Amino acid sequence: MKSLFLLFSGLIIGLWTSWPGLIIPNNWKCFMDIIDKSSKEQISLKAALAISPNYLLKGKGNTKISKIRVVSDACFR
C-alpha cells in the first residue's frame, strides 16, 4: 500500500512539475481544440510554434506519444 501511494504521488508530482497548467480547465479546452483542429488538417499557431526543430527533422520517430507531448507542451506550459 505504501509503495502504491509513493508511485501515484510521484506520478502526480512529476506531471505537475512538467506541465503546471495541467489542473486549469481552460488549458484542457486548448488541448481538445488542437486535437479537433488537427483531425480536420488545421493546426493552431500556438501548437505550430511549440514544435521543436528536432521533432521535425527526425520525422520517423513521431509516435502518438510524442504527438501528445507536443500538444501538451503547447497548452499546459
**34 has a pLDDT exceeding 90:** no
| Chain segment 56-67, per-residue pLDDT in tens | 566 655 677 777
Q: How is the chain split into domains, by residue range? A: 21-76
pTM: 0.56
Contact 22, 16 (CB under 8 A): yes
Count of alpha carbons within 13 Å of 65, Cβ hemisphere only? 1
Radius of gyration of the chain (CA): 15
